[in-house]
Structure 1
Amino acid sequence: MSTALPLGLFRGLFDDAAVFPPGDLPLPQAVPAHLAHRASRYAEFVGPFLCGAGRLGELAQLAAPGLRVALVLPGGSDQLAPALGHGLELAGVEIAALPDVRAAVAALDAQLPPGVPGSVELPRGDGLSAALDVLAGTPYRAKYRTGGLTADAFPTVAELAAFVTGCAERGLPYKCTAGLHNAVRHTDGQTGFEHHGFLNVLLAAADPSSAAELLAERSGKVLAAAALDLTDAQITAARASFTAFGTCSIAEPLADLAELGLLPHLENH
C-alpha cells in the first residue's frame, strides 16, 4: 500500500450544489459560502458553483469576483440562449438531453462560448447506449443522475456500472449529479435509500472492468486501501473519466475522506 495520500484523485472533484435539494441553501448565503470555500485551505478540491436556469437573474445580482458558475439547464436546448445572457463568469454548461441528445449537442455546438466546457445529462433506461453513441466524439461530457429525493431516482449498481463502462468503451468523460453525499456506498438510515459512494465511482473509473464489483463495495477500509494503491497513471485516467460531481455539502465529502485516511483533516472546513 502506498503511504502517499492520493490528493490528485480529488482535486476539483466537488462541484458546489448547495442551492439544490436536499441542501436548498438560499443564494444570498450560498454565494459567500462558496467564495469562502474557494479561499480556504481545501480550495483545490472545490469545483464551480452550480446554479439552475430559474435563479440566474438573482445570481447575477450577487456575483462577486472569483465566482465561477456552471449553468444547470434541466429544460434542455431551449434554455441555453437565455441562460447565456446574464454576464456571469462561466465554468461550464450542463444541459439536459431535451428534446433529445442530438438537439442538445447542436445547441452547444452553436451557442456555447469558446473555452467553456459543456455536459449533456443523459436519460436512464434502455436508450442509454444509443445516447452515449451520439455523445461520443463530441467535445462534451456525459452527465448521469445518481440519486434524488425518491428511491427510484437512484440507479442500481448494474445501471451505474453500465454507464461507467459504456463511457470507458467510448473514451467519453462524465460527471455525476445528486445522491453522492458520502464516499462509500451505504443505506441511508432515515430514508432507506441506497446511496452510491463517490469513492466507489472513482475506483470504478480507474478500473471499469471491475465497475460492478467496486460500485457494490460497502467497506470504507477496502475502498481506502484500493485508493491508496492507485498509481499516478491510474489516478490521471480515473479523473480523465470521472471529472466531477455536484454535492450540496463541500465539508461532508472532505470529512469522509479524512476519516478514511485519504485526505488530511482540514481545520477550516
Structure 2
Amino acid sequence: MTERVPDPHRYRIPPHLERLCDDAAIFPPGNAPLDVALAAHVDGSWSAYRRFLGPFIVSVDRLDELEPLTADLPPHSLWFAVTVPTPEALGDALSRSLAMPAIRLAGAEVALAADTTPRHLPRHLAGALVEAGVSSTEIYVEVPRDDRRDDVLDALADSEFDAKFRTGGMRADLYPGEEELADAILGAVRRHLPFKATAGLHHAIRNTDAENGFEQHGFLNLFLAVDAARQGVDSEENGLRDQLVATLADRDRDAVAERVAALEPSRAMAVRASFTSFGCCGVREPLDELTALGLIDPPGAS
C-alpha cells in the first residue's frame, strides 16, 4: 500500500469540521469592504483551507455592489448565500443573486419582522422559492429571542426550512446566556430541526472578550452541547438542560478540545446534522485556534 503523503499546501480538515465556518467577512465586527472580502475569498491561497469554509455571505442591500465585482469570475464559481430582512424580500433577493453568472447558490438567511405570523411562515418562504424559480435551496430563518421562539420552531419543524440562532453581536445584550442558548439547542434537537449559528462565535472556547468584556460563546462548546442534546433527548435524561448549560460555560480549553477529539467519527458527524455551520467575520481565526488545539492538522503535517 502506498503511504499517503500530506499535501504540504493544505490543512487536513476532518469530515466533521468540513464547511463549518461560513465566510461573513463583510459583517460586524470585521466590516471588511466587499471587494476586499470577495478577493480574499476567491484568492488562490484560500484553497489551503477551502474544505473548512462554507459560502460567502452577503446582505441583500449589497447585491448591486457585488454584481460588477463578480463579472470576471468563472460561471457558478462563487458559493454564495444572501441575508434578507423579511420573508417578503426573499424571492427578489434570490432572483437578483441568480442573475449573476458567477453565483452558485448555497441558500439564504431570513430575519422576521415583529408582526410575522409563525404558522404562515413556511407558505411565504415556499412562495418566494417559486417566485425565484428555485426548486430547492437551504433557507435558514432567524429565530426570535422572545416568546415567539417555540411557535417559529414548530412551524419550521413541519417544513423544509431550517433555523438560525443569533449568538452574539455588537452589544452585550445580543449574546444569549447559557440557559437561553441551551433551551434553543434543545428546542431544535427535540424537533429534529437543523440550525446554524451566527455572530459572536469568534473563538473555539467560551471566553470573555478582552476588548469589550462581552461573554462570548465558543463554537466547540456549542458543538459539544449539541452532542449532549442529541444523546439525551430520546431518553429525556434528567438534568440534560443543566448539562448543556455547564458545557456551554466550560472555559477549559484542553478539556473541551479533548472531548471533541474523543467523539466517535459517526457521533461527531451526527452533530453536524443538527449544527450545520456558524458564520464568522474572520475565518482564519477559528481555523488557527482549531490547529492550535490539535483538532486540525496544518499544511505539511505528517
Q: 1:6 to 1:205 in 2, by over 3 A?
A: farther
Give the fraction of aligned pairs with identical amino acids, expressed as a percent: 40
Q: Is the contact between residue 209 and residue 216 of structure 2 (CA under 8 Å) also seen in structure 1?
A: yes
Structure 1 residue 140: Cα displacement: 1.1
Q: Which amino acid aligns with 1:166?
A: G
- Note the 1:198-213 alignment, pairs <5 A: 198-208=219-229, 209=240, 210-213=243-246
Higher Rg of the two aligned structures: 2
Q: Which runs of 5+ in 1 are unaligned?
A: none
Answer yes or no: is 1:123 the counterpart of 2:144: yes
SS in 1 for 2:48: coil
Aligned length: 262
RMSD: 1.7
Q: Which residue of structure 2 lines up, in the alignment, with residue 19 of structure 1?
A: 26
- Note the 1:90-239 alignment, pairs <5 A: 90-98=105-113, 99-112=116-129, 113-208=134-229, 209=240, 210-239=243-272
Which whole-Å deviations, capped at 9, do the CAs of 1:182-214 have from their partners, x for residues lacking one? Answer: 000000011010000000111111111432221
SS in 2 for 1:9: helix
- Note the 1:46-125 alignment, pairs <5 A: 46-63=53-70, 64-65=73-74, 66-73=77-84, 75-86=85-96, 87=99, 88-98=103-113, 99-112=116-129, 113-125=134-146
**TM score, norm. by length of structure 2:** 0.83
Structure 1 residue 85: Cα displacement: 2.6
Structure 1 residue 239: Cα displacement: 0.3
Q: Distance in 2 between matches of 1:138 and 1:173?
A: 11
Q: Distance in 2 between matches of 1:181 and 1:53?
A: 23
Q: Is the contact between residue 168 and residue 241 of structure 1 (CA under 8 Å) also seen in structure 2?
A: yes
Q: Distance in 1 between matches of 2:61 and 2:121?
A: 19
Structure 1 residue 265: Cα displacement: 2.6
SS in 1 for 2:245: helix
**For 1:246, which of 279, 283, 286 is the aligned residue?**
279
Q: Which runs of 5+ in 2 are unaligned?
A: 1-11, 230-239
- TM superposition outliers: structure 1 runs of 4+ over 4 Å: none
Q: Is the contact between residue 59 and residue 82 of structure 2 (CA under 8 Å) also seen in structure 1?
A: yes
Q: Distance in 2 between matches of 1:165 and 1:55?
A: 34
